[in-house]
Amino acid sequence: MLTSIAIYPPLAFARVGSSDTPCAAYSWRSAKLSPDQPASTTLQPEDTLSLAADGIVKSYVPNEIVLKDPEGAFRPVCPFFELWGTWEENGTEVEGALTPDILSRFGLSLSDVTWSVDVGNLKPYHVTQRDGDRINARRTIAGEDTARHEIFGKSPEVAQPLVRHPDGIPMGAVQLSKPDDAFPELRLRFYAPKGVIYGPPDIDTRIDVALASNPDQEGAILPWRDLVVPPDRHRVNPNSSWATHDLDATDVPPLGPGDGRLNPGGLVASILSRVIGLVDDVGDGLISCQIGDLAAHARIAVGPPDFAPMNRPVVSLQDGLSDREIRASARDGTISDDELEAIVADIFERALETSDLMNKDAQNYRARLTNLNEYTGPTGGNLDLPNPSPAFEASPHRTLWPTIDEQLSASPAYPVTPQNVDAMPVTMVGQRKHRRYNAIEYFRDRLREEPDLIEKWIRIPRPPERFYDRRMPALMRGSDRNAMHLTRRQYELIQLWAKRQGDSA
């Protein structure tokens, strides 16, 4: 008998795109060093599955990776989910992908299989905490149904629901594969939505009225002056709690600017603290499958396009999951020297790739303002930080870099230096330093010269101080708006590698 079922992968990411052609599969690979090619990560085409309108699956390997159509439309990432199961054969438990033939062994067929997809956009609800501001979509599909089905999100039936348009908001589509001899597995494909915004019918009037009534605040309104929401996307109720929400109100959630759900700032489309009622088609949820009393679940998360697919983040989702599941591997001595060095080298390679995407001079200026606003205000704070000054030269990692204007001022505190020839001195200096640390031999030499290099220059995970300083990863914001840091596992692996270098010296 069939004893259990599971959906693989248990977590997948879709990425929005307005193209009708899904993006092909690819993986990362290291580029070979050559005089005409930078030493960076590149994309390698992989075996890709396509799904026809009738559910037939085909496989191909593309010659190149196309991320955008010639007219500029992003190709969406549309992941597949595959149904697996466990059963007994001759007294032995067997695991594998389920097929119609395997189902028939247990007296089952595709008609006994039911898939369901539940996705939602809860970002407005996250802010207002009003049930009417939820956007949810659900679709149930019989196992033999291979047609493509659109998913539409709607709000609960309350007095003033966020979405009351009869068609709801398109939030993607799903389709089951049609098993055949070449691809007999049971699969579901999730098609990402287009990546568009929706608003209330009076969105243009809202912006015009705000501009007319606040002529001195034109800068706060300018980002929305050229906003165009086509009439077919006027699907937001202008009287919903989301479309009438005041971010500064203290009598309704969130409780003023200090509420943690507003961090980091700038995530809500608003004019002078008034939400203008925009929502998008991005969401996440569950993919489920049921066969009799057996059930399986997987998660789907929808996000924006990967605008820099060859630049790997220094802290990835995999790092976060590894930190939760196998953090002990950094402490139990099971990692070999070669594997450990490869992990550390990879972290520093990704640090370079991430750093190269940043305008570090702009981020330096922003970080200094953040420090000033949050820690030297009327409520007090770290008053001995954070502005760079000669008094902190003894501990430069506790300060940020001077701004371009300060560096060019030729004052005694900030004399003109050779790096001033760079248009963006912090950016250029940071790039050069990161490139040096990508040579593991250079890193070893630095450790011999400065044994406390790690503790001094790499920010500890969840530091007690919330200010921005020169510790790495410098000038980057975490999801909580505070200075970003490596995971505990990453930090301990770097420490372990440094210790082994000292032990072998």
pLDDT band of residue 209 (cuts 50, 70, 90) is: confident
Note the pLDDT of residue 216: 61
Number of domains the chain contains: 3
The Cα 417–Cα 20 span in angstroms is 53
User: Is pLDDT of 256 > 60?
Assistant: no
User: Is pLDDT of 413 > 90?
Assistant: no
Helix 360-375 vs helix 425-437: angle between axes, to the nearest 10 degrees? 110
pLDDT band of residue 385 (cuts 50, 70, 90) is: very low
Pairing of strands 80-89, 92-97: antiparallel
Q: Are residues 49 and 186 in the same domain?
A: yes
User: Is pLDDT of 501 > 90?
Assistant: no
**Strongest mean pLDDT among 69-73, 273-277, 501-505:** 69-73
User: Is pLDDT of 14 > 80?
Assistant: yes
Helix (H, G, I), strand (E, B) or coil at 394: coil
pLDDT band of residue 441 (cuts 50, 70, 90) is: confident
Note the pLDDT of residue 219: 56
CA torsion angle 456 310 223 481 (round to 10):
-30
The Cα 132–Cα 151 span in angstroms is 19
Note the pLDDT of residue 417: 53
Pairing of strands 135-142, 197-198: unpaired
Note the pLDDT of residue 269: 84
The Cα 168–Cα 236 span in angstroms is 9
Q: Are residues 404 and 476 in the same domain?
A: yes
The Cα 137–Cα 248 span in angstroms is 31
The Cα 21–Cα 212 span in angstroms is 43
Residue 492: half-sphere exposure toward Cβ, Cα within 13 Å: 15
Note the pLDDT of residue 399: 66
Q: Are residues 253 and 265 in the same domain?
A: yes
Q: Is residue 188 part of a domain?
A: yes
User: Higher-confidence residue: 465 or 495?
Assistant: 495
pLDDT band of residue 76 (cuts 50, 70, 90) is: very high
User: Phi and psi dihedrals of 361, rounded to 5?
Assistant: -65, -45
Pairing of strands 274-275, 279-280: unpaired
Note the pLDDT of residue 478: 83
User: Is pLDDT of 40 > 80?
Assistant: no
What tokens were used for 370? 């953040």
Q: Are residues 13 and 131 in the same domain?
A: yes
DSSP state of 26: E
- Find the mean pLDDT for residues 438-454: 87
User: Higher-confidence residue: 74 or 373?
Assistant: 74
Helix (H, G, I), strand (E, B) or coil at 204: helix
Note the pLDDT of residue 152: 97
DSSP state of 375: H
Note the pLDDT of residue 428: 78
> Got the DSSP string for 44-60?
EE--EEEE-TT--EEEE
pLDDT band of residue 254 (cuts 50, 70, 90) is: low
User: Is pLDDT of 504 > 90?
Assistant: no
Q: Is residue 311 part of a domain?
A: no
pLDDT band of residue 376 (cuts 50, 70, 90) is: very low
Q: Are residues 226 and 210 in the same domain?
A: yes
168 within 8 A of 279, measured Cβ to Cβ: no
DSSP state of 163: B
- Find the mean pLDDT for residues 293-302: 97
- Find the mean pLDDT for residues 131-148: 96
User: Is pLDDT of 391 > 50?
Assistant: no
**Residue (of 315, 208, 327, 362) closest to 271 by Cα position:** 208
User: Is pLDDT of 494 > 70?
Assistant: yes
- Dihedral sign, CA of 268, 272, 274, 279? negative
Note the pLDDT of residue 393: 44
Q: Is residue 265 part of a domain?
A: yes
- Find the mean pLDDT for residues 29-33: 69
pLDDT tens string 311-365: 889 999 899 999 999 998 888 888 999 999 999 999 998 998 888 888 888 888 8
User: Higher-confidence residue: 328 or 35?
Assistant: 328
Domain of 439, in residue numbers: 317-504
Q: Are residues 166 and 91 in the same domain?
A: yes
Q: Are residues 386 and 497 in the same domain?
A: yes
The Cα 3–Cα 10 span in angstroms is 18
247 to 72, 193, 234, 252, 393: CA distances (angstroms): 35, 28, 23, 9, 41
Q: Are residues 66 and 41 in the same domain?
A: yes
User: Higher-confidence residue: 452 or 198?
Assistant: 198
Q: Is residue 27 part of a domain?
A: yes
The Cα 496–Cα 159 span in angstroms is 59
278 within 8 A of 271, measured Cβ to Cβ: no
Note the pLDDT of residue 1: 85
Average pLDDT score over the chain: 84
Percent of all residues in the chain with a pLDDT value above 70, rounded to a whole number: 82
Q: Are residues 165 and 143 in the same domain?
A: yes
Q: Are residues 122 and 227 in the same domain?
A: no
Q: Is residue 212 part of a domain?
A: yes
143 within 8 A of 110, measured Cβ to Cβ: yes
> Got the DSSP string for 139-157?
EEEETT--S-EEEEEB--S
- Find the mean pLDDT for residues 143-167: 95
Q: Are residues 99 and 179 in the same domain?
A: yes
Q: Is residue 462 part of a domain?
A: yes
Q: Is residue 230 part of a domain?
A: yes
Note the pLDDT of residue 275: 87
User: Is pLDDT of 212 > 90?
Assistant: no
Q: Are residues 185 and 107 in the same domain?
A: yes
User: Higher-confidence residue: 493 or 474?
Assistant: 493
Q: What angle do CA 499, 501, 505 make, to 5 degrees?
A: 120
Q: Is residue 309 part of a domain?
A: no
User: Higher-confidence residue: 220 or 445?
Assistant: 445
**Residue (of 239, 240, 210, 238) closest to 224 by Cα position:** 210
- Find the mean pLDDT for residues 243-268: 69
